[in-house]
A and B are shown apart, each in its own frame.
Chain A
Amino acid sequence: MAWTREQMAARAARELQDGFYVNLGIGIPTLVSNYIPPGMSVVLQSENGMLGMGPFPYEGEEDADLINAGKQTVTELPMTSYFSSADSFAMIRGGHIDLSILGAMQVAENGDLANWMIPGKVVKGMGGAMDLVAGVKKVVVVMEHVSKDGPKLLHRCTLPLTGERVVDLVITDLGVFSIDKHGARGMSLIERAEGVSLDEIRSKTEAAFTVAEQARAA
């Protein structure tokens, strides 16, 4: 059985470590905050200028001056700090954020990422995505394995890139792939969702990948 969105988020949460500063993108990545293990200290960064982002407010306690990067109302925590957008991206670009989890349209076997525009369609803009993938220490993509147009894990991205050789790990509904983005080892399947066959993954993946020992067994 392929993983659900919730299961993908739970799998992504296993990349968290105690003391990590983390930026979560919109969509499935946002759900990852629901799976932070109890007792683990993880600080969420919101690129519009907030470190230590709390949950959504109770009804009636929304504050228009307190929003996340998706423009949703959020709350502050005892350890929260606020700062300007320039400081926020100094934090991101300067390599101070440990982990960025975000969605994607396409990922190539060398770690290239496309997630911001489809030529000929309305372009909304890249927001902070290009800065995040260029600056954050580890970049994890969470996405459906295939789109209605076909495979999303490709030899080469066909859409305009968000970043070149930036993705470390891809979590799809079918499995988990690591990418040697600075080396020559390419993409490797390291986990399969329970009940998903290697044949199914092969048939739905254009990118070349090796299969790690632990992903071979039935």
Chain B
Amino acid sequence: MKKVYADPKSALAGILKDGMVVLSGGFGLAGIPEALTYAVRDSGVKGLTVVSNNAGVDGIGLGLLLETRQIKKMISSYVGENKLFAQQYLAGDLELEFNPQGTLAERIRAGGAGIPAFFTKTGVGTMIAEGKETREFDGETYVMERGIVGDLALVHAWKGDTEGNLVYRKTARNFNPMMATAGKVTVAEVEHLVEPGEIDPDQIHTPGIYVTRIVHVPVVGAKRIEHRTTRPRMAA
């Protein structure tokens, strides 16, 4: 079966439906499936529940889908960088579910691994645990959190082969590997598309079984940086 699609639009053709749950990889602007997000915007699909650690920044990444009000609900751990998000949330136009970052990562990992729920210490005694089942194990209290499965997962990888095997680069890996496992359909955009055998099998982060469709999106120009921090060079 051919997994490679010519462009982001065709890679999403026939998949998008109003009201679906979309998992979107990335942390800040690192490793976000930006080209696929543009294609989601252009499709006009709406009422989306989006699971993503952050919500992009104004005008970039998921910020685009907020501008067009295609998102009904976000499940995130931190949305501080997006002003539009705050406005829509305060106006009651956007639902928001905050998850602790590690709980969010594990919910997605669990979802992809066929685990419907798990217990964690994170959030015990806080409003995060309100209304959730708690249990004691070995004298400590844990709260039950549910696994997450999405209708669609969008991920960004550095390199992929035509079988869907993926390699991520540095901290652009972040949520992408779990997201890839937890989508009923997973679409990956890759900066470099290669033939099977060109990636050392020992170095593959996401095995191709998790990737339904793959699209080559070469990097044009410089990748965006949210907070450019540097140090001065010592005088020679």
Binding site for B on A (CB under 8 A): 46-50, 55-59, 61-68, 70-74, 76, 82-86, 88-90, 92-93, 112, 122-131, 134-135, 160-165
Contacts and interface: CB of A to CB of B under 8 A. Distances in A.
Contacts of A125: 76-80, 98
A64 B101 contact: no
A56 B229 contact: yes
B105 A64 contact: no
B159 to A, nearest CB: 12
A50 B174 CA distance: 9
A18 B124 CA distance: 31
Contacts of B177: 84, 86
A124 B78 contact: yes
Interface string B136-172: 0000000000000000000000100000000011111
A124 B157 CA distance: 27
Given A86-B109, A134-B123, A48 B225 contact: no
Interface size grouping (class) on chain B: 35 or more
A90 B168 CA distance: 19
A162 B77 CA distance: 13
A191 B232 CA distance: 36
Interface string B64-104: 00000000000011111100001000100000001011111
Nearest to A76: B170
B225 to A, nearest CB: 5
Interface stretch (B15-23, B28-36, B38-46, B210-218): B28-36
Interface centre among A46, A84, A89, A123 (most CB of B within 10 A): A84
Given A128-B77, A131-B101, A63 B170 contact: yes
Given A48-B30, A130-B122, A86 B178 contact: yes
Interface centre among B31, B98, B122, B176 (most CB of A within 10 A): B122
A108 to B, nearest CB: 11
A163 B101 contact: no
A201 to B, nearest CB: 28
Given A49-B171, A126-B100, 11 more contacts: A50-B170, A57-B231, A58-B230, A84-B173, A85-B102, A123-B98, A124-B80, A126-B101, A130-B102, A131-B100, A163-B125
Interface centre among B29, B77, B101, B224 (most CB of A within 10 A): B101
Contacts of B169: 65
Interface centre among B81, B172, B232 (most CB of A within 10 A): B172
B171 A48 contact: yes
Contacts of B231: 55-58
A63 B205 CA distance: 21
A67 B177 CA distance: 18
A86 B170 contact: no
A128 B101 contact: yes
Interface centre among A90, A127, A164 (most CB of B within 10 A): A127
B53 interface: yes
Contact of B128 (A48, A76, A130): A130
B178 A71 contact: no
B230 A62 contact: yes
Given A64-B30, A70-B227, A49 B121 contact: no
Contacts of B77: 125-128
B126 interface: yes
B174 A49 contact: yes
Contacts of B101: 47, 85, 89, 126-128, 131
B153 to A, nearest CB: 14
Nearest to B226: A71
B189 interface: no
B31 A65 contact: yes
Contacts of A134: 120-124
A130 B172 contact: no
Nearest to B206: A84
A181 to B, nearest CB: 12
